[in-house]
Structure 1
Amino acid sequence: MSRLLALSLVAVLSISSASVIIKLASAPALALAFWRLAISTLIISAMFPKALNLRCVSGLNVLYVLVGGSSLGLHFITWIESLSYVPIAVSVTLVTTHPVFTALLSYLLLGERLKWRQYVGVLLCVLGVLIMSFSGGLPLHSSLGVVLALAGSATASLYFLVGRYLRRSCSLAEYVVPTYLTATFITFAASTLSGVNLVNYPLTTWLFMILLALGPMLGGHTVLNYLLRYMKATAVSTLAACEPIGATLLGVLLVGEVPDVQMVLGMLITLLGVYAVLIHEG
């Protein structure tokens, strides 16, 4: 097995583990979102201490960092909460549609034209979401979970769109550190206002919280960023889009969530739409 293939498998498994870890942690979404961001921020700050000078946070960039960080915080809050209402397969597939939202926002806000295959991809995603939403295997009140997962996807796309702009003048670390700090503050404020307990949890829950920050971040997103040096951006984006498949398999094996045929059909159609948008991006 080649080194790049091995790293690709590690990355997909790592990012796919997030939803299962969330299910096993048995903690409120706000607490999980806060600690994932807080621990990740500490690790990234330790890895890139020079980014703490906040050189990029000046002028108009302050507004962009606030928007990007708030979007990231809301992304984690809404997506993690969606897992309380819908199965892993549905939640992760829906939140993985963020490239579609990014393409649409790029068209609406930046005037970037979409290719006709990307329009087809958007329609496929809509069809796939509808098929999953009306699946008989979904529990009661699942419509709220669908809305939350889509909100998580939309806020993720806004985070990536802001990042695309800031990366023109900032390094990755210089953008990520202040953005993560903002997201951490947003989740802390939301937790405090909601009266959510952030401290008193059993040891097993703390271990899952730490694992949630370490696994998907270090083994997942960090490895994906490393692979960008040796692989095309589209290939790396496609690896990230494999998360629903890995998450569904882990969900079946570790928490016993087996999707029905209609869910799987909707999932595959949605992922095909995401791939159509990704493969023709730029």
Structure 2
Amino acid sequence: MRKKTVQMIISNSLMIGLWASAFPGIRAGLEGYTPEHLALFRLLIGSMALLLFAVLTKMRWPDIKDIPVIFLLGFLGFALYHILLNIGEKTVSAGVASLLVTTAPIFSAMFSRLFFGEHFGIAKWIGSMISLLGVSLIAFGAGDYTYSMKGTLFILLAAFSESIYFVFQPRYIKKYGFIPFVTFTIWGGTLPMLVFLPGLGEEVINASMSATLSIFYLGLLPTVVPYFALAYVTSVVGASEATLSLYVTPALTLIISWMWIGEIPAFISLLGGVVTVGGVCFTYLKSNQMKWYRNALRHK
């Protein structure tokens, strides 16, 4: 197996697994923190860890001309995304939230096509539709009809905001490398969040240990590692294809939520997870088959 293939498998596994765990982690953190303070605390933890890493590795700083764009992408991909998602999860279960966020690949594909003319073939569209059917089954099986339309809208807006970050990052990943770029954008997303700093200390004192530990986990792992992994995958295959594997996230979120916060999935939700994974497999297997076929014709 080629080295790049192994790296892709590891990157996708980290991305899916850690992001899947983030949704129940947010629900646990919201037991002791407001959505705004949870987002700020999470980003502060991630930023401080990355600052130490940057100093130890003598990471290069971004060019002055790129700083406004980096700050904007950081705001959209981290600050705005996390605030909107946290607000939405006040009334939406972790499983349903994760499936709503899977609309991000669709938004990413549309933006990639609109701004960069990136090809999104028929196999990917069919695979996406299969996966959307799967996440719809997950939603139906969740049986959580009490969540508000307002919460749903917040999460869809979060997915929309994050998709812009995904689509416009490749140019800067190519220039700086995926680890420095993600580091810069996390810092860029953290700075505007400092407006919510008043009151955070009081919440840290009053919150339960489990809620605080959940945020430390979110800050050190799901906030940082999956973005590194996604940035690497994006640098290899492009934004629209890189985000396709996120369709697997809701299936794994259901299992983790069951184990962590006691959200028990119905059988139809588990069936939806199988369909979701099937859609992703169809997309990649069919796409690779088509690439093999085109290469075979080219070498005839």
TM-score (norm 2): 0.72
CA 104–237 in structure 1, closer or farther in 2 if over 3 Å, else same: closer
C-alpha RMSD of matched pairs (Å):
3.7
Q: Contact 2:71–2:188 (CA<8 Å) still a contact in 1?
A: yes
- The equivalent position to 1:23 in structure 2, one of 27, 41, 54, is 27
* Cα distance in 1 for residues equivalent to 2:227 and 2:177: 15
Q: Which has the higher helix share?
A: 2
- Alignment pair present for 1:213 and 2:219: yes
CA 8–113 in structure 1, closer or farther in 2 if over 3 Å, else same: closer
- The equivalent position to 2:96 in structure 1, one of 68, 90, 99, is 90
Match of 1:70 in 2: 75
Cα deviation code 1:82-113 (max 9, x no counterpart): 22222211111221342222111101121223
Match of 1:181 in 2: 187
Moved more, 125-134 or 97-106: 125-134
* Cα distance in 1 for residues equivalent to 2:121 and 2:11: 31
5+ residue gaps, structure 1, are none
Q: Contact 2:11–2:230 (CA<8 Å) still a contact in 1?
A: no
Match of 1:54 in 2: 61
Q: Report the Cα offset of residue 131 of structure 1.
A: 5.5
The equivalences for 1:140-155 within 5 A come to: 140-155=146-161
Q: Report the Cα offset of residue 183 of structure 1.
A: 0.8
Q: Report the Cα offset of residue 148 of structure 1.
A: 2.2
> What amino acid does structure 1 have at the position aligned with 2:20?
S
- Alignment pair present for 1:116 and 2:122: yes
2:201 alignment partner, SS class: coil
CA 179–269 in structure 1, closer or farther in 2 if over 3 Å, else same: same
Moved more, 23-32 or 255-264: 255-264
Q: Report the Cα offset of residue 116 of structure 1.
A: 1.2
Cα deviation code 1:230-256 (max 9, x no counterpart): xx8699867655432222112112222
Match of 1:104 in 2: 110
* Cα distance in 1 for residues equivalent to 2:13 and 2:179: 25
The equivalences for 1:207-246 within 5 A come to: 207-217=213-223, 220-221=225-226, 224=229, 241-246=247-252
* Cα distance in 1 for residues equivalent to 2:10 and 2:94: 25
Q: Contact 2:131–2:247 (CA<8 Å) still a contact in 1?
A: no
Identity %: 20
* Cα distance in 2 for residues equivalent to 1:155 and 1:104: 13
* Cα distance in 1 for residues equivalent to 2:26 and 2:214: 8
Q: Contact 2:43–2:223 (CA<8 Å) still a contact in 1?
A: no
Cα deviation code 1:206-246 (max 9, x no counterpart): 3222122123246x528847996xxx869986765543222
- Alignment pair present for 1:198 and 2:204: no
Cα deviation code 1:43-66 (max 9, x no counterpart): 112112233x533342xx233213
> What amino acid does structure 2 have at the position aligned with 1:199?
G
Moved more, 79-88 or 272-281: 272-281
Q: Which has the larger radius of gyration?
A: 2
Q: Contact 2:182–2:227 (CA<8 Å) still a contact in 1?
A: no
Match of 1:247 in 2: 253
CA 85–35 in structure 1, closer or farther in 2 if over 3 Å, else same: same
Q: Report the Cα offset of residue 23 of structure 1.
A: 1.8
> What amino acid does structure 1 have at the position aligned with 2:118?
E
> What amino acid does structure 1 have at the position aligned with 2:122?
W
CA 24–94 in structure 1, closer or farther in 2 if over 3 Å, else same: same
Where relative contact order (Cα < 8 A, 6+ residues apart) is larger, the structure is: 1
* Cα distance in 2 for residues equivalent to 1:56 and 1:155: 24
TM-score (norm 1): 0.76
Moved more, 237-246 or 71-80: 237-246
Match of 1:36 in 2: 42
Q: Report the Cα offset of residue 273 of structure 1.
A: 5.0
